[in-house]
Amino acid sequence: DHEGHQIAQWWNERGVSAFVLHYRLGPEGHHFPTQLADVQRAIRTVRAKAADHHIDPKRIGVMGFSAGGHLASMAATKFDEKAYDASDDIDQASARPDFAVLCYPVIAMASEFAHGGSRKNLLGGEFSPDSPEAKHVSSDLNVTDQTPPTFIFQTDEDVVVPAENAVRFYLALRQHKIPAEMHIYQRGPHGVGLYLGDPITGTWSNLLDTWMRSNALYTPAAKRVAVSGEVFLNGSPVRWGSVTFQPETAGQPIVTARVMGGKFSLPEDQGPSEGKAKLAFSASIWETTQKDADRVIHMEKLSQNDSAPAMIEMKPGISPLKFELSVP
């Protein structure tokens, strides 16, 4: 199952527990809100039994592909909608996912880009795109300020579920200022899954991995530190560049600050995590020197003569920092 167990194995390789939901389907006679009930119950079950599985009940996400992507988007937007009658203590747990991953998702049931087959399967009949029923399950119309951070993967060549579906959901997330990241690859038909055999489109899961880390979803978020300072290269302020803080603690966000006019600054909520971090620099002084020999440099040491990468212990009050880089 390239959109189920293969995906679960991918998560397992990153230390993440994964649960594959076999939800009830429209062609089998099950229609809305049955599918929403299934995913709500699944999220509540995982959250209620989090201690049994040694997982964090505050870092439970939902992921779906194609029609499953629509169900995942409903889980992210309709977690407070009553889809079934409560039956036990599990149903007292929240059904809101803490993040969502949507892959070539069906989204818009009420537009010219709607997937008619999915609409019919979900609703159990012929409903027009402008019907109240279709609008009720169009996830782009249901995004709120409570929708969780979302990662979206799509291909431009997908003619089964056009990219407009993913784009509409992304724009709705932007409208509500929900943290979101979307990647649309030019190549790739509908339903590719991980597609690891493709050297280009198959990189999407690497981007998901990075997104998970940058949002501190792999490990409990550590306290972050406001940081500011200056960067010099061969005595001149770096006119344009960056300084990257890579935490020694696995899973914590890698943070990059842009350097302009020799200075950089990040507020606490965007700064690096407390603890040891490896430094990396990108720097240019050509704008100042106008010398052809002054190229953009990339280095993990303050000097090429240093024997070890540059390290720093991040802690409150450490700023302002001053880094002086030197190259021949």
Across the range 232-248, mean pLDDT stands at: 95
Across the range 89-114, mean pLDDT stands at: 95
Kindly state the tokens that stand for 58.
């505050």
Contact present, 97 and 60 (Cβ < 8 Å): yes
* pLDDT at residue 294 tops 80: no
* pLDDT at residue 75 tops 90: yes
Residue, of 118 and 292, whose pLDDT is higher: 118
* pLDDT at residue 25 tops 80: yes
Tracing tokens 């049955």 back to the chain, one arrives at 34
Q: Which of the four pLDDT bands, split at 50, 70 and 90, describes residue 328?
A: confident
Distance CA 131, CA 288 (A): 62
Tell me which of 102-116, 203-217, 309-323 is least confident.
Answer: 102-116
* pLDDT at residue 293 tops 90: no
What percentage of residues in the chain have a pLDDT greater than 70?
100
Q: What is the pLDDT of residues 47-73, one digit of tens each?
A: 999 999 999 999 999 999 999 999 999
pLDDT given at position 111: 79
* pLDDT at residue 285 tops 90: no
Across the range 311-317, mean pLDDT stands at: 97
Q: What is the pLDDT of residues 110-162, one digit of tens each?
A: 878 887 889 999 999 888 888 999 999 999 999 999 999 999 999 999 999 99
Residues 6+ apart with CB under 8 A from 82: none
What is the DSSP code string of 264-278?
EEE-GGGSPBSEEEE
Q: Give me the chain's average pLDDT, please.
A: 96
What is the DSSP code string of 92-136?
GS----SEEEEES----SSSTT--HHHHHHHHTS---TTSHHHHH
* CA distances from residue 199 to 108, 185, 195 in whole angstroms, order as listed: 30, 12, 9
* pLDDT at residue 273 tops 80: yes
* pLDDT at residue 233 tops 90: yes
Q: Which residues pair with 276 in a beta bridge?
A: 313
pLDDT given at position 272: 96
pLDDT given at position 110: 83
- Which domains, and CATH codes, for the chain? 5-214 (3.40.50.1820), 227-325 (no CATH)
pLDDT given at position 210: 96
